[in-house]
Amino acid sequence: MADRNGAQPRVTALARKLAARIAECGPLPVDAYMAACLADEEFGYYRRTNAIGAAGDFTTAPEISQVFGELVGLWLADQWQAQGAPTRFNLVELGPGRGVLMQDALRAAGQALPAFLAAARLHLVDISVPMRDEQRRRLGAYAPNWHADLADVPNDAPIFVVANEFFDALPVRQHVRRGAAWHERRVGLPDGRLGFVDGDAVEVDFTRPQAPDGAIVETCPAGEKIGCALGARIAEQGGAALAIDYGTSVSGWGDTLQALRKHKPIDVFEAPGECDLTAHVDFPVLMAAARKGGAASFGIVGQGAFLTRLGLPVRLGRLLKSAAPRLARELAQASQRLLDPREMGTLFKVVSIVPAGSVPPPGFAAELEI
Ligand code: SAH
């Protein structure tokens, strides 16, 4: 059977492995399928592939313009200073990809506030071996520590954190409405190949009275756990976190699981383990998790508004003055991509986590402002 792009699904090594597992143990919850596609020890996407950039499968904001990472670095340094410039702190990036964001952030923050750089201990949380190699190339001079999980980062000092397009890579569960009940959506072998099937009715901790029959509600237990842990650490030790991702500012329903290969959407079963798989981030839930941990959370602000408030247009104006025409054109186009509501400006959203009682950090005005 051809998929919607007319391509015949290839049976990848991971598809075979999962089919054998399903034949033996029954259909998998969607989060187990997503976790296997991204992180299976043998065949998971992030274990083997260099995914990001023009030659990869998708492009991210720090890869589009260096100004993105620079502004994030200045935001973190500002929060560090606002909290009394602690002489030692843990600087954490969740899912640093090729290390581009942190490289730009450290360069800008180090120039503005050398003491920030001197006080930072760098911790990179990533499961990808090829990405870690790239991170080592760009960030080796800052003596980073690598971890597979936030839980492994020492909780012994204030923590300043950035996560760009990290939460969207965390596995989601899906629930499908059937009458008054919610059934866990699972991945089985409906036609002898991988596909969705209904699982049993399950207890859920969300309410969606307006959702029609057949509606799908996603939850992200792994993301909630990390949001809560960030809130707890920031409440206990001080610090600040910035999460930037695409997703929703109103918890609703809809299937947002999507696969990307070579910058094009493909069916989520077309090439398991050989394409990126993501889901939209439910920002209200992430913020609630951080608050449950004991911290305050500000947002939700669109990426375009956030970067504009941090001064991207001013910085761009300065760069354009000294740039040759071709470079100037490229710089302007890159900024446009980050800011424009028709591109990344509003689909991408930003939330912050700061100690309870803090004033809104730079870039954030009110609770909800999308
Ligand atoms: N922040 C980068 C990369 C985003 S891609 C950028 O903006 O360019 C997602 C990143 O998260 C990759 O580096 C991937 O290896 C990492 N990642 C995905 N799932 C993860 C998990 N469960 N734990 C830790 N890192 C993960």
Backbone angles phi, psi at 204, to 5 degrees: -125, 155
Task: Tell me the CA–centroid distance for residue 7 and ligand 1, in Å.
Answer: 28
Q: Which is nearest to 264 in space by CA: 275, 252, 274?
A: 275
Is residue 30 scored above 50 in pLDDT?
yes
Which of these, 25, 7, 67, lies nearest to 269 by C-alpha position?
7
Confidence of residue 3 (pLDDT cuts 50, 70, 90): very low
Residue 290 in contact with ligand 1 by CB distance below 6 A: no
pLDDT tens track for 99-140: 999 999 999 999 999 999 999 999 999 999 889 999 999 999
Are 284 and 251 in contact, with CB atoms under 8 Å apart? yes
Over residues 36-55, the mean pLDDT reads 86
pLDDT number for residue 56? 82
What's the whole-number mean pLDDT along residues 194-206? 96
> Measured from the CB, is residue 60 less than 6 Å from ligand 1?
yes
| Distances, alpha carbon 231 to alpha carbons 84, 159, 238, 240, 362, in Å | 19, 10, 10, 9, 19
- C-beta of 109 in contact with ligand 1 (< 6 A): no
State the average pLDDT over residues 14-34.
97
Ligand 1 nearest atom to the CA of residue 93, by list position: 1
- Give 167 Cα–ligand 1 centroid separation in angstroms: 8
Which is more confidently placed, 48 or 144? 144
Neighbours of 347 (CB within 10 A): 16
Does any ligand 1 atom lie closer than 6 A to the CB of residue 72? Answer: no
For residue 10, the model assigns a pLDDT of 65
Taking the CA of residue 222 as reference, the ligand 1 atom at the shortest distance is 22
- The residue nearest atom 25 of ligand 1, judged by CA position, is 126
Answer yes or no: is the C-beta of 97 below 6 A from any ligand 1 atom: yes
Residue nearest (by alpha carbon) to ligand 1 atom 15: 128
Kindly tell me if the per-residue pLDDT of 2 is higher than 50.
no
Instruction: Please give the distance, rounded to the nearest whole angstrom, from the Cα atom of residue 301 to the centre of ligand 1.
Output: 22
pLDDT at 78: 97
| pLDDT of the residue at 100 | 97
pLDDT tens for each residue of 223-261: 999 999 999 999 999 999 999 999 999 999 999 999 999
Instruction: Supply the angle between the helices 325-339 and 312-322 in degrees, to the nearest 10.
Output: 170
Mutation test residue for ligand 1: of 66, 93, 127, 139, the one with most atoms within 8 Å of CB: 127
195 band by pLDDT with thresholds 50, 70 and 90: very high
103 in contact with ligand 1, CB cutoff 6 A: no
> Pick the residue with more confidence: 274 or 2?
274
- What is residue 249's predicted lDDT score, i.e. its pLDDT? 93
For ligand 1, what atom is nearest to the CA of residue 95? Answer: 11
pTM of the predicted protein model:
0.95
**Distance between Cα 123 and ligand 1 center (Å):** 14
- Given a cut of 70, whether residue 366 has pLDDT beyond it is no
Residue 318: pLDDT band with limits 50, 70, 90: confident
The 3-state DSSP class for residue 349 equals: strand
Q: Is 19 in the pocket of ligand 1 (CB under 6 A)?
A: no
- Residue 1's pLDDT is 41
Residue with CA at minimum distance from ligand 1 atom 24: 126
DSSP string, 271-305: STTSSEEE--EEHHHHHHHHHHTT-EEEEEEEHHH
3-state secondary structure of 311: coil
Residue of minimum CA distance from atom 14 in ligand 1: 95
Provide the pLDDT for residue 357: 94
For 145-211, the DSSP string reads EEESSGGGS--SS-EEEEEES-GGGS--EEEEEETTEEEEEEEE-TTSSSEEEEEEE---S---TTP
166 Cα: distance to centroid of ligand 1 (angstroms): 5
> 30 in ligand 1 pocket by Cβ < 6 Å?
no
The stretch 260-277 carries a mean pLDDT of 93
Predicted pLDDT at 129: 87
Mean pLDDT across the stretch 74-86?
98
Residue 291, pLDDT > 80, answer yes
What average pLDDT does range 84-111 have in this prediction?
97
**What's the token pair of residue 331?**
């710089």
Is 218 a residue whose pLDDT tops 60? yes
Q: What value does the mean pLDDT of the chain take?
A: 93
At 153-166, the pLDDT tens digits run 999 999 999 999 99
User: Ligand 1 in contact with 164 (CB < 6 A)?
Assistant: yes
Q: Which residues pair with 21 in a beta bridge?
A: none
Site to substitute for ligand 1 among 64, 126, 146, most atoms within 8 A of C-beta: 126
Q: Supply the DSSP symbol for 144.
A: -
